[in-house]
Amino acid sequence: MAVEVVNKKVLLRRYIEPGEAPTEGHMELVTTETIILKVPEASSSAVLVKNLYLSCDPYGRAIMSRPQRGSNHLSTPGLPVPGYGVAKVVDSTHPEFKAGDYVWGLTCWEEYSLITPKETLFKINYTDVPLSYYTGLLGLAGLTAYVGFHEISSPKEGEHVFVSAASGAVGQLVGQFAKLLGCYVVGSAGSDEKVNFLKDKFGFDEAFNYKKESDLDAALKRYFPEGIDIYFDNVGGAMLDAALGNMKLRGRVTVCGLISQYNLETVQGMRNFTLVIPKCIRLQGFNVLQYQHMYREFEEKVVKYVKEGTIKYLEDVAEGLEAAPASFVGLFEGQNIGKKLVVVARE
């Protein structure tokens, strides 16, 4: 007989409006709902999972915002917050998943989720590395760093690479991929502790605390007297503007994220944007969801790096589903040191 259990959830209480910073008040913990631990008979190709680790990501802000025209919107007030995570299959009517499988992909902020996997659920092939890595290093953040650096930035050995938000989930990996290729790598981050991790743990050549720099242009000239070949941008705004002023001829700017702009009603202008023409700068954005076909290739390579110890990964772990709202809000205040994730259950 199927068992019924309490299913704790974090619901979206109200949309995050333009110009608003996310707050814990945008979400709500509910502890009274229950779920039957069996896929309902009417649901074909569905998977019931127990969520183990949930990923906290800046794109959660877009997910929790009012739908825009043409956007692939996911959340609705009153329903659990959607997000990526690692889970164990409890029951399945989907041919590719069976009870006991570990999976990662799009789930919800709740203890158990009934999901209808499309292209957004992957079976975890390697259970001999920490499962939590599939929220970041071996999940979407890792694929973002891999694609953004290798596919979008056109890197060459010996080039000079600058990474912002460099100690975060994506940034720490971009820097390490660049070092593996023999590049000179400098990262910026928002605290001295993060800067030390960049140099001591991840092997960046140099790193600086951008919050202590009164002149970002001067800071970049100090670390790149001959200019930047690749700027991997995670933040946008003033840092992107300063980097544009320091790019070499035919430099590449990979626009991965613009976190400094997400909570503003109007995006800041760029003083140095006109330099894109005389310096022949290639500025390119990308969306990792369009590169999911590369996941297995990426996974094979990076699992090998992890097992060899070639790549290091720093996680910032919060305990319990109730910690999810504060963990998410903290991303926009730079509170996370490394990949932010929430442990819902360990098994």
Footprint on this chain of ligand NAP (rule: CB under 6 A): 57-59, 141, 144, 165, 167-171, 189-191, 194, 234-235, 256-260, 286-288, 331-332, 334, 336, 339
Nearest approach, Cβ of residue 88 and ligand NAP (Å): 24
Using H for helix, E for strand and C for coil, what is the string for 284-336? EECCHHHHHHHHHHHHHHHHHHHHHCCCCCCEEEEECHHHHHHHHHHHCCCCC
CB closer to ligand NAP, 245 vs 330: 330
Distance CA 173, CA 167 (A): 9
Question: Which residue lies nearer to ligand NAP by CB, 35 or 235?
Answer: 235
Residue labelled with tokens 């002023």: 245
- Contact between 49 and 87 under an 8 Å Cβ cutoff? The reply is yes
Residue showing tokens 């998943």: 97
Residue with tokens 């509170």: 335
Q: Which is nearer to ligand NAP, 211 or 222 (CB)?
A: 211
- Tell me whether residue 39 or residue 81 sits nearer to ligand NAP (CB atom): 81
Can you tell me the distance from the alpha carbon of 311 to that of 34, in angstroms, rounded to the nearest whole number?
Answer: 41
CB–CB of 343/319 below 8 Å? yes
Q: How far apart are CA 190 and CA 194, in angstroms?
A: 7
Q: How far is the CB of 87 from ligand NAP (least distance, A)?
A: 19
Minimum Å gap between C-beta 226 and ligand NAP is 25
Give the nearest distance from C-beta 251 to ligand NAP in angstroms: 19
CB nearer to ligand NAP: pick between 8 and 339: 339
Residue type, 240: L
Give min distance, CB of 152 to ligand NAP, in A.
Answer: 9
Q: How far apart are CA 106 and CA 282, in angstroms?
A: 32
Specify the residue, 43 or 154, whose C-beta has the smaller distance to ligand NAP: 154
Q: Which is nearer to ligand NAP, 94 or 330 (CB)?
A: 330
CB of 65 to ligand NAP, least distance (A): 13
**CB nearer ligand NAP, residue 237 or residue 245:** 237
Query: Contact at 8 Å (CB) between 112 and 34?
Result: no
| CB of 331 vs ligand NAP, minimal distance in Å | 5
The CA distance from 7 to 73, in Å, is 24
Distance CA 270, CA 257 (A): 16
Residue type, 269: G
Cβ atoms of 302 and 129 within 8 Å: the answer is no
Nearest distance from C-beta of residue 234 to ligand NAP, angstroms: 4
What's the Rg (C-alpha) of the chain? 21
